[in-house]
Structure 1
Amino acid sequence: MQFTPEVAASAGTALLTAGTAAYLYRRRQRSLPILSLVAFNVAVAVWTGGNALQAAATVLSAKLFWVNVQYVGISVLPVSIVAFGLSLSGNEDQLSRRRVALLAAPLVAVTLLSWTNGYHGLVRSSVGLVTVGGTVMLEREFGAAFWAAWLYSAALNVVGTALVIRAVAYADQVVERRVLTLLLAPLVPWTAQFLYLAGMLPVEPEVFFGVTGVAFAYAVLTWQSVDPTPARDAVFELLDEGVVVVSGDGHVVDLNGAARDLLGLGEASVVGEPVEAALAAHPDLLDAVRTGEPREDLVVEADGIGRRLDVQFTSFDNLVGPPDRITVLVDLTDVREQERTLERQNERLESFASIVSHDLRNPLSVAVGHTELARETCDSEHLAAVERAHKRMEVLIEDILTMAREGDAVDEVEPVPLAATAELAWQAVATDGAGLRVDADAVISTDRSRLQQLFENLFRNSVEHGSTGNRRGSGDRVVHDSPDAQVGTANAEAAGTRSGTSSGEEASAEAEREHLTVSVGPTADGFYVADDGEGIPEADRERVFEPGYSTGGGGTGLGLSIVAELAEAHGWTVDATESAEGGARFEFSAVGHVED
């Protein structure tokens, strides 16, 4: 026996890795990463321990015996690093006993060839002893089987290393030193082996695998999420959307429980299978996965239930081979059913509104006609109250129809001038002598008809609620403050006719009253409608847009609710505030481009 630095280094490595393996094995948690590291460290201990005894021996037969023992560790080591990489990257289900046996078969064969090398020389073509500096050393030339096994072991190491790097690349929570540990640990021994075979390193390379074994153990024991990333796995399983990960070569890498439920896969083992086999029951989805084209309302049937799916794709780089593709399956079945239900409800609502309108307008027309006939023979003060009731019913009918029909989003818009539209709306409203002031000309993109309807409801609200008993207009008038200002004169006679008095009497009465003015103008990102009436109490400004809410006894409570719906249909926002004169001000924002 002889004692050399090589003996000491190999023996120390064997003791270190054997101790590491024993420590890992005694832990309560014997997960696949732990067990693969136990196998890895045992393999290193056998390899380096055999090398220590080989280097300590001084006769050829003893050296060859311990060399053959080393091949036991050499055979186990590459398979264990692949197992560690797969478990670390979340692909444990690919490590069946059959696959492990197939991976190990070539290395087991070279181990047997090493023990029987004297009969064929495939592993070592020649062996002998040389004495260098008083140390007896084994001199050998390697045969074809050795180099084939070396290349195969190197390939397994590359795969295992790539899997480790891939796992680290997705593990954002790993601190820097652990990242470096996992990245460098598998590279150190194989770099050393390359240098040794090239004659650039005098130390046997197997001792460097001790660095790998201990480094991996450190990473596993200090990296809580190495089993692998349990938090991410939990989130993955809790997703409502189905997720299927397909590798670049067309195999299912992973899928969550939601995907299994949507596709009716149950507990079938589809991970690792070709995507054609996994999705054979869903040809339309398979076609989408092959082409990578998103689909909406793609119908799949599972367990006798048809479902509509929104299918989306994304991909991420895989350090081993082509990019993996993620297929996201969103179940639209309930959404589509809700949409159909809502459509049916809207249809019924519109039908109801039309029926109500028709059934109410007919008797209302009869009542209006009889009231006019009654005025020809009787000038009772009660008839004025009847006429007011008829007008209220007309407004109520129009509001009901508007609420039923005008809630859809605006699809087509055009440039519409605020001033001209406001004037048209003003002419369509019984303004009761109030005045309109358009502060400036502006053009906005909108639906012309709905904008006019919005103005009509706001103007009606201002006239009905903005003026008190002693605040009425001195005539219907429109005032422009633009450079091309034009002033429209009032139609006092018409106003007087609507109220049941002569034009002369109305003009005389209005001259003694303060008039109400409604203003329209642009803002930085929209427009406003304001008046100088009583205003809206601050506590009520959020509630005024609720259906049925009214501060006066004469309103339907639907006018401002219609305004809010029309604004929402355009994608605008509306806020009720106080005007500069203390009245009500309605500001519309997010209107888009406003041209002065």
Structure 2
Amino acid sequence: MDGVLSPTTAGLVMLAGGIIPGFVVYWLRTEPQGIVVRWFRFAMLCGMVWSVSFGLIALVDAPALRLAITNVFIIAVPSASIATFAFAYEFTFREPIPRAYLLLFVPVGLLFVLSWFNPAELIYTVANPYQTGEIMVPAEPGSLRLPLNVIGSPLLVVMAAGLAIGELIRATTTIRRLQAGTVLLLITAAMVPGLIKLFELVPPYFDPTPFGWSIAGLLVAATIKRFNLFRLSPNSLRRVVDALTDPVVVVNAEGIVSDANEAATDVFTLTLGMTVSELQEANPALNSVVDGTESQLEVAADGTTLVFDYDEQPVPQGYGTTGRILYFSDITEQAATAEALQQKTDRLDAFASRVSHDLQGPITVATSYVKLARRADDPGDALDEIDTALTRAETLIEDILAMARSGQEPTREPVALDTAAHKAWAMVATGDASLVVAADGTLSADPQQLSRLLENLFRNCVEHGGEGVTVRVAATADGFAVADDGVGIPASEQATIFDEGVAHDADGTGYGLAIVRDIVAAHEWSITVTDSESGGARFDINGVAFEEPPSTTDDRGQPAE
């Protein structure tokens, strides 16, 4: 190859080889100088100095000028290696390299200073390097150049390649694998020509290393400019974010989603590299919080609704650039608790309203008749009316309290349906009515609430079913039913029969069946009203979990007391 590539030709080629890395340095001047990009530009600058200085060494004839250029060349090589490792480190660990790493430039600076004086032939192994006629000033064993250029520099490049390979193996996203592959390509493009030079497969006045470095560097620069390659590289909080169970999305200074933890990708539709606007378009629930109009959002995920508290904080991404962290704190449980507390508060408010409203009538009646009794010679009739008003007030208080308690979380325990039915029947004024229980299963329910439910249904059947009505409790395929053989409920009233405050006779309070409705809902059951087989009323309670399945039993009637 020595005959094909003369020193002059090699020098001109090396000079030309400095154009590409110089262009890359200039081309990326407008790029945000965050992590990775700054060290990449510095490595390209070192490659340019490396190529140009080596070319000038081959072209210059004056020994003193050649040595001066060589003094610059011998620091360009280790500086390029240091920059390559820093570039790979910042890419891999997503954070600026520690300041202590800059101490590696101390021996490089010392090498540059000593090269001008060459004390004790520490740099150049020749007595008078300013007078040598060799193209490459000798640096045999014993020179400080050997451990820096032949040992330290290749070692740093190999370590940089190891970081890129490790990241390529660990990468879980396509964009991250593309980044790692690009970094590895760049490092490999410098390593292979470097090995050719190390094993002296080319003339001593020619070094192909900058060429592989420059071509790969140009490709990397193109991906940076065209595809924002390293602006998608995550920031220093990435490793911490990975451990969080709350969704975290990282946005860089250009408003591009640069990173997201697994919790975020599970909840939101997102890809690295999309803009914040595209993120909002893919996840409309984010619009209100990202725009600042709301601080909480609800997201449907896996059939459930998750509630998040949103926070946004600026985060330095290195070298003067600032991105944002979008943090979504999962407050689903707290929101559910707050909702439950609000429901209790609303129930208390409703209770107070009912007391003040519904008791006003009986109190007014009682007050009026008290005045009449005081003026009448015989207050007997007035006292009867007062007694009636107070009895109604007492009934209202009992129903209102039951209404307030009917929606409370039930304390479930095994309850025998037939036993509960007979106990509830005993608590109701039934007259000539009778009860038949045709099921003996054991269900999971709150005993007191179940008793209240049955009492209210029995009372409704007795009061509206007519004389001598028979009430029947029977098991069904999905729960149990309470039916009577009375006059039934008109179809026009069935739609509103469970509404609060709706009474279909003058003596009703309008709470009985509303209480039944709330107890059913608290147990997560359902209730419907239809006509029974005999034309009476039938209430079906469905969704009941029986611990012991009911079986049909002989009818057992209990006469009214």
Listed as ranges, the matches of 1:469-488 within 5 Å are 471-472=465-466, 474-476=468-470
- Post-superposition shift, 1:209? 2.6
Query: 1:421, CA displacement in angstroms?
Result: 1.7
Q: Which residue of 2 aligns with 1:401?
A: 401
Q: CA deviation at 1:518?
A: 4.6
State how far apart, in whole Å, the 2-side matches of 1:5 and 1:531 are: 112
| 1:384-395 pair list within 5 angstroms | 393-395=393-395
Provide the residue aligned with 2:512 in structure 1: 559
Q: Secondary structure at the match of 1:521?
A: strand
Per-residue CA deviation, residues 299-337 of structure 1 (Å, 9 max, x unaligned), is xxxxxxxxxx9xxxxxxxxxxxxxxxxx99789999999
The residue that corresponds to 2:475 in the other structure is 521
The verdict on how the C-alpha distance between 1:421 and 1:38 changes in structure 2, with shifts beyond 3 A counting, is same
Distance 1:185 1:225, change over 3 A: closer
Counterpart amino acid of residue 574 in structure 1: S
Q: Say which SS state the counterpart of residue 24 (structure 2) adopts.
A: helix
How has the CA–CA distance of structure 1 residues 44 and 148 changed in structure 2, closer, same or farther, with 3 Å as cutoff?
A: closer
2:19 counterpart residue number: 15
With the length of structure 1 as denominator, give the TM-score of the two structures.
Answer: 0.53
Q: Is the 8 A contact 2:78 2:108 kept in 1?
A: no
> Are the equivalent residues in 1 in contact too, given 2:437–2:473 (CA < 8 A)?
yes
Q: Are positions 1:50 and 2:3 aligned together? A: no
Distance 1:409 1:74, change over 3 A: same
Distance in 2 of aligned mates of 1:204 and 1:359: 101
8 Å Cα contact 1:42-1:73 kept in structure 2: no
Q: CA separation in 2, counterparts of 1:424 and 1:196?
A: 99
3-state SS in 1 of match to 2:414: strand
- State the match for 2:105 in structure 1: 105
Identity of aligned residues (%): 20
Task: Please give the alpha-carbon distance, in whole angstroms, between the structure 2 residues aligned to 1:390 and 1:182.
Answer: 88
Partner residue in 2 for 1:38: 41
For the 8 Å contact 1:88–1:226, the answer to whether it is kept is: no
Please give the residue correspondences for 1:265-276 in structure 2 after superposition, counting only pairs within 5 Å: none
- 8 Å Cα contact 1:47/1:73 also seen in 2: yes
Residues 21 and 47 of structure 2 are in contact (CA less than 8 Å); yes or no, is this contact kept in structure 1?
yes
Q: Deviations over 1:372-393 (max 9, x none)?
A: xxxxx9x99x999999877654
Contact residue 531 and residue 585 of structure 1 kept, 8 A = no
Say whether the 8 Å CA contact 1:40–1:80 is kept in structure 2. Answer: yes
Pick aligned residue for 1:574 from 520, 526, 541? 526
Q: Check if 1:445 corresponds to 2:444.
A: yes
1:85 to partner: Cα distance: 5.6
Matches within 5 A, 1:461-500: 461-462=460-461, 467=464, 471-472=465-466, 474-476=468-470
Give the unaligned 5+ runs of structure 1.
130-134, 246-253, 255-308, 310-326, 366-376, 477-516
SS at match of 1:548: coil
Q: CA deviation at 1:364?
A: 12
Instruction: Name the CA shift for 1:475/1:229 in 2 (closer, same or farther; >3 Å).
Output: same
Which residue of structure 2 aligns with residue 454 of structure 1? Answer: 453
User: 1:235-384 counterparts in 2 under 5 A?
Assistant: none
Conserved? CA contact 2:363–2:389, under 8 Å? no
Specify the alignment match of 1:315 in structure 2: none
Aligned partner of 2:184 in structure 1 is: 184
**Greater mean deviation of Cα atoms: 346-355 or 221-230:** 346-355
The count of corresponding residues between Structure 1 and Structure 2 is: 441
Instruction: State how far apart, in whole Å, the 2-side matches of 1:440 and 1:50 are.
Output: 101
Cα distance in 2 between the residues matched to 1:180 and 1:595: 63
Question: Which of 18, 21, 28 is equivalent to 1:24?
Answer: 28
Could you say which residue in structure 1 is the equivalent of 2:426?
427
Give 1:398 deviation, angstroms.
1.7
User: Aligned partner of 2:509: which letter?
Assistant: T
Q: Is the 8 A contact 1:577 1:584 kept in 2?
A: yes
Distance 1:158 1:456, change over 3 A: farther
The runs of 5 or more residues in structure 2 that have no matched partner are 251-258, 260-308, 310-326, 367-377, 551-561
**3-state DSSP of counterpart to 1:185:** helix
Residue correspondence of structure 1 range 140-289 to structure 2 within 5 A: 140-141=139-140, 143-144=143-144, 146-147=146-147, 151=152, 154=155, 158=159, 162=163, 172=173, 174=175, 178-179=178-179, 181-189=181-189, 191-192=191-192, 195=195, 199=199, 204-224=208-228, 226-228=230-232
Q: Deviations over 1:54-78 (max 9, x none)?
A: 4666887776555433323642563
Secondary structure of the 2:443 match is: strand
Write out per-residue CA displacement over residues 215-261 of structure 1, whole angstroms, 9 at most, x where no aligned residue: 4324423444843479999xx9xx9x89899xxxxxxxx9xxxxxxx
* Deviation readout 1:507-529 (Å, 9 max, x if unpaired): xxxxxxxxxx55442545x5555
Matched, 1:78 2:89: no
Residue by residue, what CA displacement relative to the aligned partner does 1:535-577 show, whole Å, maximum 9, x if unpaired? 6869975x7655435566554333344334434544x242536
**Separation in 2 of the partners of 1:16 and 1:451?**
85
Match of 2:412 in 1: 413
Q: Secondary structure of 2:409's partner?
A: coil
Structure 1 residue identity aligned to 2:213: F
Q: Match for 2:19: what amino acid?
A: L
AA partner of residue 38 (structure 1): R
Matched residues in 1 for 2:12 and 2:505: separation? 101
Determine if contact 1:124/1:141 at 8 Å carries over to the other structure: yes
Structure 1 pair 416–16 and aligned structure 2 pair: CA distance change class (3 A): same
Residue-by-residue CA offset, 1:17-62 (whole Å, 9 max, x unaligned): 222222222x476656554443332222222333444466688777
RMSD of aligned C-alpha atoms?
Answer: 6.2
CA distance in 2, matches of 1:103, 1:530: 91
Distance (whole Å) between structure 2 residues aligned to residue 427 and residue 88 of structure 1 = 78
Aligned residue for 2:543?
A: 589
Higher RCO (CA < 8 A, seq sep 6+): 2
**1:91-134 superposed Cα distances (whole Å, 9 cap, x missing partner):** 46x78xxx3894563364255257347325555657999xxxxx
Amino acid at match of 1:425: A
How far off its partner does 1:419 sit? 2.6
Helix, strand or coil at the partner of 2:528: strand
Q: 1:364 to 1:23 in 2, by over 3 A?
A: same
- What is the distance in 1 between the residues matched to 2:483 and 2:125? 102
| C-alpha separation in 2, matches of 1:137 and 1:539 | 108
Is contact 1:407-1:569 (8 Å) kept?
yes
8 Å Cα contact 1:399-1:558 kept in structure 2: yes
Residues of 2 paired with 1:201 and 1:544: CA distance? 99
- The one-letter code of the counterpart of 1:46 is V
Provide the C-alpha distance between the structure 2 equivalents of 1:451 and 1:389, rounded to a whole number of angstroms. 29
Amino acid at match of 1:174: I
Deviation at 1:185, TM superposition (A): 3.1
Closer, same or farther in 2 for the Cα pair 1:418/1:29, shift >3 Å? same
Per-residue CA deviation, residues 334-379 of structure 1 (Å, 9 max, x unaligned), is: 99999999888988998999999999999999xxxxxxxxxxx9x9
Larger mean CA deviation between 432-441 and 452-461 belongs to 432-441
C-alpha offsets along residues 473-523 of structure 1, whole Å, 9 cap, x if unaligned? 6345xxxxxxxxxxxxxxxxxxxxxxxxxxxxxxxxxxxxxxxx5544254
CA distance in 1, matches of 2:154, 2:40: 17
**Distance change in 2, residues 1:44/1:566 (3 Å):** farther
Q: 3-state SS of the aligned residue for 1:174?
A: helix
Query: SS in structure 2 opposite 1:424?
Result: helix
Distance 2:89 2:224 in 1: 12
The one-letter code of the counterpart of 2:79 is S
Partners of 1:409 and 1:568 within 8 A in 2: no
Scaled by the length of structure 2, what TM-score is found?
0.56
Aligned with 2:501 (options 524, 544, 548):
548
Matched-pair contact (CA < 8 Å) for 2:18–2:51: yes
* Pair 1:400–1:74, CA change in 2 (3 A): same
CA contact under 8 A between 1:10 and 1:48: conserved in structure 2? yes
